[in-house]
């Protein structure tokens, strides 16, 4: 038959839906060549082309898809239903009153989203149409990027980006390596080394590459940028040669080729299956506390609306119980109306009342809130104080939905390395067998000025000790992934190792490694290069030593160590290993462990980052076993990561300890001041780090997280080994609760002398035990609750030896505690992404550990010190502004609709509208929308400088204090009071029907217009009374809105508009203004409406002033220069904050 049973089995397994191979793996045929007969079944799989689609809509689906998405919002759907009701039944108001605002919002949103999508289409087209070079029939040919398919062999030149995900087959370098920058993917600008397949790296020309006959079995696409596994089967003879593939063989779309003339690679993931495209997906939506409050208020107002409609419907039928009222002589019913069932009539009337009162829930509030958040976010991005000149970076807002949440933070979770510290490593010392070596400071690969000689503290070791010393230096020169850049500049920045000499320098993705290699250079051992698999170092005698690099056991956060296996020029085999002390000491069988451990602990207490170095000599037989272990693990497709980790664990054993290094990671500028300010603002700061306890604790003291007076409570593995976890937890709980009743904390001045300041230190292992579900043992208790109770009474917590997932677990635990506090997580590395995504607000630091934290965060800042202004100033302002906006919107709509409700009692519940259709439509769109929008963008109730100097003011707005139910009820009652004053004030004035000088009576439209005029002026003046920060823009918008209302009313009633069938407002406004009593009533009613709120504020501030109000009272006495939030330059249109 030509197909053996194995081939048939492969074929069946690939096409059976239940088989894992069908889901988990794919086979790629390089150059689309079929495998040799009998090798395996050739199944041409279907893969997507290389077209990138970042757009959301197409020309055909834009309208239905966009409409569906917009009407999924409850508010939009609600107003659509109201509009349809107005169309279907006879309602008191025109469908235009609901339809125009709704469709205005829908159309504006659709235009905005359509334009954004058109830009995405344009960008996609530019990417998809660019030309790439492909090897076809032994020659290079050009094709559009979108036409690339899986299996194509692609040719890429230096400084070009990879058009899809490629497996590296060969490069212009003899050793088959190439250098790549992945800045567009993860922000890391360092040059990373990638390796070609060992058996294809010699193929340098198109003809040679075209001769490659191979297949690749690899995993299906997944978004993790740093994980890849697969095998390549190369058909060179009778038996195929199988090699494992890993992430160092995979070139990702979007990365750029550097310092390599060209490469050949085979496309394995294309288009929307590339890792870059899979990372397009958005994060889960976060909702702010203000948004939740707003939704709760909407439910209340919806209940008020329904109750109003029910009451009016019931009263209408009570009123119409008298036949003379139900069917007066001038308005007799038709026969069909008489025959309609009473329930149908009641339901129709209920819907009509719903339509009449529906303006109590304003559709424009959603638009205003969205605009306020979107425009307000630019103040963070434009803030010059949050610009870092060193990085050339500004703060970035990735989502504007959480601006106000910055003013509600109760817990701050921060990483240590790169967040509190600079991640700028200085080599301090190394210890070899108890002998300490201290060179002059080497900072991140650059020798500091004046570091010409070597200052070493040692005890003149003997020959044997000197041999071990040199072995230690060689170990650090060989056990790393540092690259040597020979050229003068990288991306236009000059670097140099030698003073005034050669312009080579070290580059690495880890600043620790650069600092260590530079430290060794200052101590006489210089790492030169990796060439053709040979690592070259220059020893103290200026002799070049060569070591063949055989294996690299890469670093990972679980093992916390890395190793290399090298062969010296004399043929000796060495395993050199470096890593954290906790991962090295248990694997050591000899060496001066106690002396080195004492030095490590001493350095850790001083806040230095320590690494231990060990080695092991390998015999040829042992090396063969190592090779066999690694090869078998890497070729195993299922559970490859687990098997490789187990192989590493078996290899890195029976080590001989050589020594340890100490590197300092300096504290960031103003980090201590920032943490102190956050404490004063009432926030609890937790440091979550993977560092050892002593190092992290020293940093916490330096950053003022812990003070010298802080009583430290330890919940660590060391302590739980001495006592049971149960006993330790209950002992700590008793300690903190003993003083709980006597704890006093003065809100204005911070911690009083009676307050006992507790700080807790916990490590990852103990945290795992605490988080583990409690057993059925009654003595075990609920550890999690006890732990939370201890943490609540600690001003600061340090969690050390944390895995990334544990960081997220801690944040989630605090989030879900009974108080449901608002949490903020800040970090700079990939290991911080999980907690950044978990917290209510995630902030990324633009550090040196890549941009993954920045890409996954809600906000990004250049340095930790900028967190102070972001929370204490921007967060404070955002919360004050949006809380006023939300309350004011509900207030002005109560003022607007309650007179309509009262009016029904005087018109026989006939659903007669009080206001004209134009006023109903434009009240929320034009007459009252701009002043509150501008207020919500510009209000500064307190000067910026005072907010920074007085962090305790942040406590005044904590726990959503301005959107509590009592304040909401106050605003609602105030709105009802104002509505009653307006309606009955005008009603009693109308009691004298001869209101005009000529004896002419006013009609119902004049009555409604007078109420509406008082309403517009009252709600605008209410905002004027609440405004503390005035600029010419405030004046222009507030007084301009009132002028626009007057001018519109004059034009609307002063001209006969040809497009109107009837014009009930003709001359109404002008006739009203011609009346002296009308003018007097407007002034009196505005004053009467605003007076209670003014009186309440005066008495409240005099009797129970908040810290904020005390500062406002003293503001005039302050000599500080007023700050400018919104400065418009005549020479520049740029807005600076």
Structure confidence by residue, pLDDT tens digits, 753-762: 455 778 888 8
Which region among 24-33, 361-370, 843-852, 1114-1123 has the lowest average model confidence (pLDDT)? Answer: 1114-1123
**What pLDDT is recorded for position 566?**
93
- CB atoms under 10 Å from CB of 1095, counted, come to 10
Mean pLDDT value of segment 37-48:
72
Q: Model confidence at 1062, in pLDDT bands (50, 70, 90)?
A: low
CA 982/CA 1012 separation, integer angstroms:
9
Most confident range (mean pLDDT) of 260-274, 414-428, 442-456, 1051-1065 is: 260-274
**What pLDDT is recorded for position 853?**
75
**What pLDDT is recorded for position 348?**
83
Which region among 303-312, 449-458, 634-643, 1116-1125 has the lowest average model confidence (pLDDT)? Answer: 449-458
Q: Are 270 and 148 in contact (CB under 8 A)?
A: yes
Measured torsion, CA atoms of residues 186, 191, 195, 196, in degrees rounded to the nearest 10: 90
- CB atoms under 10 Å from CB of 660, counted, come to 25
Mean pLDDT of the chain: 79
Distances (CA, A) of 82 to 95, 97, 915: 9, 10, 18
CA 886/CA 300 separation, integer angstroms:
14
Residue 958 DSSP label:
G
Q: Are 826 and 674 in contact (CB under 8 A)?
A: no
**What pLDDT is recorded for position 2?**
41
391's enclosing H/E stretch is none
Mean pLDDT value of segment 862-880:
91
3 state SS of 245: strand
What percent of the chain shows pLDDT beyond 90?
Answer: 17
Q: Model confidence at 329, in pLDDT bands (50, 70, 90)?
A: low
Which region among 530-534, 769-773, 779-783, 1056-1060 has the lowest average model confidence (pLDDT)? Answer: 779-783
Does the predicted TM-score (pTM) go above 0.85?
Answer: no
Q: Model confidence at 830, in pLDDT bands (50, 70, 90)?
A: low
CA 797/CA 687 separation, integer angstroms:
6
Long-range contacts of 60-65 (CB under 8 A, 24+ apart): 62/114, 62/117
3 state SS of 654: coil
**What pLDDT is recorded for position 996?**
56
Distances (CA, A) of 508 to 174, 197, 262, 480: 21, 23, 22, 9
840's enclosing H/E stretch is none
Residues labelled catalytic: 415
Q: Which of 186 and 746 is assigned the larger pLDDT?
A: 186
CA–CA–CA angle 1009, 1015, 1021 (5° rounding): 140
- State pLDDT tens for residues 946-960: 888 888 888 888 888
Q: Model confidence at 803, in pLDDT bands (50, 70, 90)?
A: confident
Which region among 485-494, 742-751, 758-767, 1040-1049 has the lowest average model confidence (pLDDT)? Answer: 742-751
Q: Are 416 and 691 in contact (CB under 8 A)?
A: yes
Mean pLDDT value of segment 908-916:
81
Q: Reading across the β-sheet that carries 256-258, which strands appear in turn?
A: 188-195, 177-182, 256-258
Mean pLDDT value of segment 594-604:
88
The dihedrals phi and psi of 757, each to the nearest 5 degrees, come to -90, 115
- State pLDDT tens for residues 140-162: 999 999 999 999 999 999 889 89
3 state SS of 464: helix
**What pLDDT is recorded for position 170?**
93
What percent of the chain shows pLDDT beyond 70?
Answer: 82
**What pLDDT is recorded for position 1019?**
94
HSE (side-chain half, CA atoms, 13 Å) at 734: 5
**What pLDDT is recorded for position 503?**
53
**What pLDDT is recorded for position 778?**
43
* 816-835 core/surface letters (b: 16 or more CB in 10 A; e: else): ebeeebbbbbbbbbbbbbbb
**What pLDDT is recorded for position 734?**
83
Q: Model confidence at 1122, in pLDDT bands (50, 70, 90)?
A: very low
Pairing between β-strand 588-590 and β-strand 256-258 as defined by DSSP bridges: unpaired
CA 547/CA 332 separation, integer angstroms:
108
- State pLDDT tens for residues 857-869: 888 898 888 999 9
**What pLDDT is recorded for position 743?**
47
The residues pairing with 590 across neighbouring beta strands, listed in sequence order, are: 656
Q: Model confidence at 69, in pLDDT bands (50, 70, 90)?
A: confident
Mean pLDDT value of segment 968-987:
91
Mean pLDDT value of segment 205-233:
86
Q: How many residues does the chain have?
A: 1137
Mean pLDDT value of segment 899-913:
84
- State pLDDT tens for residues 343-398: 888 888 888 888 888 878 777 787 788 888 888 888 988 888 888 887 788 888 87
């Amino acid at each position: 038959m030509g197909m053996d049973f194995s081939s048939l089995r492969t074929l069946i397994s690939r096409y059976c839906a239940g088989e894992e191979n069908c889901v988990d793996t794919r086979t790629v045929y390089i150059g689309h060549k079929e495998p040799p007969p009998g090798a395996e079944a050739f199944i041409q799989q279907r893969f997507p082309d290389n077209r990138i689609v970042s757009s959301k809509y197409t020309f055909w689906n834009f309208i239905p898809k966009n409409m569906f998405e917009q009407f999924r919002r409850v508010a939009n759907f609600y107003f659509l239903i109201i509009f349809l009701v107005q169309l279907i039944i006879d309602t008191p108001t025109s469908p235009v009153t609901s339809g125009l605002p709704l469709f205005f919002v829908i159309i504006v949103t659709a235009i905005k989203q359509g334009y954004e999508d058109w830009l995405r289409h344009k960008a996609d087209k530019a990417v998809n149409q660019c030309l790439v070079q492909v090897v076809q029939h032994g020659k290079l040919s050009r094709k559009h990027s979108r036409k690339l398919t899986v299996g194509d062999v692609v040719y890429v030149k230096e400084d070009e980006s990879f058009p899809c995900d490629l497996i590296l087959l060969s490069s212009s370098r003899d050793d088959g390596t190439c250098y790549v920058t992945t800045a567009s993917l993860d922000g890391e600008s360092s040059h990373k080394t990638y390796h070609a397949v060992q058996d294809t790296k010699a193929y340098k020309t198109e003809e040679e590459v075209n001769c490659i006959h191979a297949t690749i079995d690899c995993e299906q696409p997944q978004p993790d940028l740093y994980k890849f596994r697969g095998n390549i089967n190369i058909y060179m003879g009778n038996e195929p040669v199988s090699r494992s593939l890993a992430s160092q063989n995979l070139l990702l779309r979007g990365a750029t080729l550097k310092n390599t003339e060209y490469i050949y690679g085979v496309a394995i993931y294309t288009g929307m299956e590339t890792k870059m495209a899979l990372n397009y997906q958005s994060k889960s939506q976060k909702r702010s506390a203000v948004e939740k409050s707003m939704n709760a208020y909407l439910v209340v107002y919806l209940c008020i609306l329904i109750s109003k409609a029910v009451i009016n419907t019931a009263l209408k039928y009570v009123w119409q119980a008298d036949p003379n009222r139900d069917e007066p002589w001038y308005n007799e019913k038709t026969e069909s109306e008489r025959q309609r069932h009473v329930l149908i009539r009641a339901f129709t009337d209920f819907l009509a009342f719903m339509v009449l009162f529906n303006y109590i829930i304003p559709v424009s509030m959603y638009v205003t809130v969205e605009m306020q958040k979107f425009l307000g976010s630019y103040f963070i991005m434009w803030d010059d104080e949050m610009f870092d000149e060193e990085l050339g970076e500004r703060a970035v807002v990735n989502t504007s939905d959480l601006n106000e949440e910055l003013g509600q933070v109760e817990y701050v979770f921060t990483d240590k390395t790169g967040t509190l510290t600079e991640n700028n490593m200085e080599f301090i010392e190394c210890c070899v067998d108890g002998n300490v070596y201290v060179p002059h400071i080497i900072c991140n690969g650059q020798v500091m000025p004046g570091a010409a000689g070597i200052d070493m503290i040692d005890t003149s070791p003997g020959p044997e000790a000197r041999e071990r010393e040199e072995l230690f230096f060689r170990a650090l020169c060989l056990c790393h992934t540092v690259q040597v850049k020979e050229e003068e500049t990288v991306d236009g920045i000059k670097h140099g190792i030698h003073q005034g000499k050669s312009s080579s320098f070290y580059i690495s993705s880890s600043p620790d490694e650069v600092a260590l290699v530079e430290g060794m250079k200052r101590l006489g051992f210089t790492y030169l290069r990796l060439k053709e698999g040979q690592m070259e170092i220059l020893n103290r005698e200026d002799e070049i030593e060569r070591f063949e690099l055989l294996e690299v056991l890469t670093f990972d956060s679980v093992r916390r160590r890395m190793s290399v296996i090298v062969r010296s020029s004399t043929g000796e085999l060495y395993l050199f290993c470096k890593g954290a002390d906790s991962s090295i000491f248990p694997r050591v069988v000899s060496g001066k462990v106690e002396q080195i451990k004492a030095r490590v602990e001493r350095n850790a207490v001083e806040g230095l980052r320590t690494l231990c170095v060990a080695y092991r000599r390998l015999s040829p037989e042992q090396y063969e076993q190592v090779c066999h272990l690694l090869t078998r693990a890497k070729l195993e497709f299922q559970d490859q990561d687990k098997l490789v980790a187990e192989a590493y664990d078996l290899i890195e054993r029976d080590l001989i300890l050589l020594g340890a290094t100490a590197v300092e990671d300096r504290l960031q500028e103003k980090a201590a001041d920032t943490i102190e300010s956050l404490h004063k603002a009432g926030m609890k700061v937790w440091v979550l780090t993977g560092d050892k306890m002593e190092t992290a604790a020293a940093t916490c003291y330096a950053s003022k997280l812990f003070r010298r007076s802080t009583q430290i409570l330890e919940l660590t593995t060391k302590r739980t080994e001495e006592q049971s976890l149960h006993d330790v937890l209950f002992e700590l709980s008793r300690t903190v609760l003993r003083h709980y009743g006597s704890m006093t904390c003065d809100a204005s001045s911070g911690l009083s002398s009676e307050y006992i300041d507790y700080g807790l230190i916990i490590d990852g292992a103990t945290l795992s035990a605490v988080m583990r579900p409690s057993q059925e043992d009654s003595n075990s208790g609920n550890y999690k609750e006890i732990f939370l109770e201890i943490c609540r009474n600690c001003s600061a917590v340090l969690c050390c030896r944390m895995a990334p997932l544990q960081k997220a677990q801690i944040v989630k635990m605090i989030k879900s505690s009974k108080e449901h506090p608002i949490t903020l997580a800040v970090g700079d590395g990939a290991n911080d992404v999980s907690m950044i995504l978990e917290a209510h607000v995630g902030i990324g630091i633009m550090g040196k550990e890549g941009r993954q934290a920045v890409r996954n965060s809600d906000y990004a800042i250049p340095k930790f010190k900028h967190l102070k202004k972001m929370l204490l100033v921007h967060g404070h302002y955002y919360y004050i502004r949006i809380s006023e906006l939300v309350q004011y919107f509900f207030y002005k709509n109560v003022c607007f609709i309650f007179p309509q409700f009262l009016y029904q009692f005087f018109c026989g519940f006939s659903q007669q509208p009080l206001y004209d259709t134009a006023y109903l439509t434009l009240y929320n769109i034009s007459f009252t929308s701009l002043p509150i929008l501008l207020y919500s963008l510009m209000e500064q109730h307190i000067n910026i400088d005072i907010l920074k100097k007085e962090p305790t003011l942040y406590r005044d707005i904590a726990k959503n204090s301005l959107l509590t139910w009592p304040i909401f009820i106050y605003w609602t009652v105030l709105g009802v009071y104002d509505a009653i004053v307006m309606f009955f004030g005008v009603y009693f004035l109308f009691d004298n029907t001869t209101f005009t000088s000529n004896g002419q009576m006013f009609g119902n439209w004049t009555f409604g217009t007078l109420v509406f005029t008082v309403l517009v002026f009252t709600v605008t003046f209410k905002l004027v009374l609440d405004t503390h920060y005035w600029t010419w823009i405030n004046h222009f918008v507030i007084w301009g809105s009132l002028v626009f209302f007057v001018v519109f009313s004059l034009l609307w009633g002063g001209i006969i508009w040809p497009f109107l069938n009837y014009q009930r407002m003709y001359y109404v406004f002008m006739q009203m203004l011609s009346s002296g009593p009308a003018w007097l009533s407007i002034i009196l009613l505005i004053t009467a409406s605003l007076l209670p709120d003014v009186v309440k504020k005066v008495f409240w501030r005099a009797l129970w002033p908040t810290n904020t109000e005390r500062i406002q009272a003293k503001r005039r006495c302050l000599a500080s220069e007023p700050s400018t939030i919104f400065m418009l330059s005549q020479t520049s249109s740029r807005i600076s904050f």
